[in-house]
A and B are shown apart, each in its own frame.
Chain A
Amino acid sequence: MRTKLVDYIASHALFQPDKLALICQGQKLTYKELYNEISSYVLKLKAQGIAAGQTYLFKFHADVSCVVTYFALHQIGAIAVPLEKSLPDEKIGEYESRISNHGPFDETGLADILFTTGTTGQSKGVMISHDTILADAENLMIAQGFTSETVFLICGPLNHIGSLSKFYPTFMAGGTVMIIDGFKNQEDFYQALDYPSCKLATFLVPSSIRLLLLFSKDRLSQYKDKIDFIETGAAAISHADMMALCSILPHTRLYNTYASTETGIISTYNFNDGHCIPGCLGKPMKNSNIIITEKGTIACSGRTLMSGYVDLDMEVSRIGENVLVTSDLGYLDEDGMLHLTGREDDVINVGGLKVEPSEVEDVAMAIPGIKDCICIAVPHPIVGNTLKLLAVLEEGVELDKRKWARFLVKKLESYKVPLLYEQVDAIKRTFNGKLDRKAYRIKKERL
């Protein structure tokens, strides 16, 4: 019985050993070769003392060895903790300590701990089980039509659910995963699309779609008969970009998906259906259910939910035992399709990556000369939102944005470091002294 994703790789290695499983950094591995690599690495990890139930932290670079490490850990029964490749060492130490504070992991069948942004200024360690991974895989396979012919191109960070979750249906179906190192070189992206397959698929966050539309629209249109489907998600895509993509790629299925690390992959909508409904995220998939709470927030249930947070005292908003309540606001239309309308909390979405502003402010307050500060979102032509730090300075101190940015990046992931800085006389606060974030949101809307 196959209870883990790696069991599917083992099965494909047996029944279709010469089928290509992985293309990455010039290397091509068949299922047989990939499974052999995983099996060899299992022995090495065991020799290092890694055993079932233990955690193993590693930076997930876009290379074969990291993919092999990930699945070897699963094979052993250990818990993979893939980290962002630019994560500062200080953060790694913090994560290690939080994991060790958890004590032995009794949760059933844990596969991964994924660190994501929390709403309390601290990244959340989300525990994911093997069953959740298989449920996500099945959801995507059925809803988006992954097959053994699918060649799925991953160009995003592999510690993030948006990219990592594409391993799930592709390897379950016996397809091919192709990985390129990021999206900054569009030439790499197009070279990958030149791969001889008519079942190419990829995941692009809305800001990557924006980049393609801005800088290589004509070139993208040359692939209109080649790209089987594109999935987007992690942030809201503008209706103008949805329409532009439909026009450039008229035969490609284009999915807008609702998912998060905590809820798993919940719903998806092919907006190239002739209607291109703005903000629509489709119907719940096979293993998921959606309800809207009285407050208007989206709540999810089903096998794709996380097992919990690694910090035992971190609050999980639930209804009963099995329904997880998110901070996303939305509604279900008369056809049962989900629509997203905003967020209930202060989290800022920067190109698909979520930033809790208080985490940035906590670090910024340690910069010498800053008396008070607030981190706000301002519109950006590519990523939708970018971060701006407004700061009140001590007398005689001057704003030095490059120095400040370099201070912040030592303690925060680079996407959490504001691009914009401004000196202000005072930070607006509410009557009880809390930062008046709503005042800055209103200001942003009026810009």
Chain B
Amino acid sequence: MKERIRFLLEDALPLVDFDTDFLFSELDSLGIASILMILSEEYHITLDGKDATPRNFKSLDSLVSMVQKKMSDNK
């Protein structure tokens, strides 16, 4: 899942370094919104503004955790 997310996000946001642990500070509002939309669509989960926290967007790993949690909540 992590590599799939990396592929999708790197393609959509070519300027962003997804290896950083300071991902939230690298992103602008468009970047945050793009990630929410891409992950919602790819994994059929509902993500909204409340999910766009610095904790969830700290790194690629934390995005993966957020998706996994949403998917398990959906079950």
Chain A residues within 8 Å of B, Cβ to Cβ: 182-187, 207-208, 211-212, 214-216, 219, 351, 381-383, 401-402, 404-406, 409, 414, 417, 419, 421
Which residues of A lie under 8 Å from residue B11 when comparing CB positions? 401
B37 near A216: Cβ-Cβ < 8 Å? no
Q: Which 9 A-B pairs have the closest CB atoms?
A: A186-B49, A216-B49, A405-B14, A215-B49, A184-B29, A183-B29, A215-B48, A402-B14, A401-B14
**Partner of A406 from B15, B37, B53 at Cβ < 8 Å:** B15
Write the nearest CB–CB distance from B59 to chain A, whole angstroms: 16
Query: Min CB distance, B29 to chain A, in Å?
Result: 4
Q: Assess whether B50 is in contact with A214, with CB atoms less than 8 Å apart.
A: no
**Contacts A185-B54, A187-B50, A216-B48 known; A419 to B27 CB distance under 8 Å?**
no
A184 touches B49 (CB 8 A): no
Contact check, B13 vs A382: say whether CB atoms are below 8 A apart.
no
Q: Which residues of B contact A (CB under 8 A)?
A: 10-15, 24, 27-34, 36-37, 47-50, 52-54
A216–B32 CA distance with the chains assembled, in angstroms:
14
With known contacts A215-B36, A381-B37, A417-B15, A207–B30 Cβ distance under 8 A:
yes
Tell me what chain B mostly uses at the interface: helix, strand, loop, or mixed.
helix
Q: For residue A183, which residues in chain B have a CB less than 8 angstroms away from its CB?
A: 29
A211 partner, pick from B13, B14, B33, B53, beta carbons under 8 A: B33
Which residues from chain A contact B34 at a C-beta distance below 8 Å? 382
The answer on a CB contact under 8 Å between B52 and A184 is yes
Q: Please, how many angstroms separate the alpha-carbon atoms of A359 and B37 in the complex?
A: 30
- Establish whether residues B29 and A409, one from each chain, have CB atoms under 8 Å apart when the complex forms: no
Which residue of the partner chain, among A382, A419, A421, contacts B33 with CB atoms under 8 Å?
Answer: A382
**Which residues of A have CB within 8 Å of B14?**
401-402, 404-406, 417, 419, 421
- Chain A residue nearest in CB terms to B51: A215
Q: Is the CB of A414 within 8 A of B28?
A: yes
Contact, CB under 8 Å: B12 / A215: no
Residue from the list B13, B24, B27, B52 in contact with A186, Cβ < 8 A: B52
* Minimum Cβ distance to chain B for residue A219 (Å): 7
Q: Which residue of chain A has the shortest Cβ distance to B31 in the bound complex?
A: A184
CA distance A404 to B11 in the complex (A): 13
Q: Which residue of B lies closest to A381 (CB)?
A: B37
Complex Cα–Cα for A229 and B72 (A) = 41
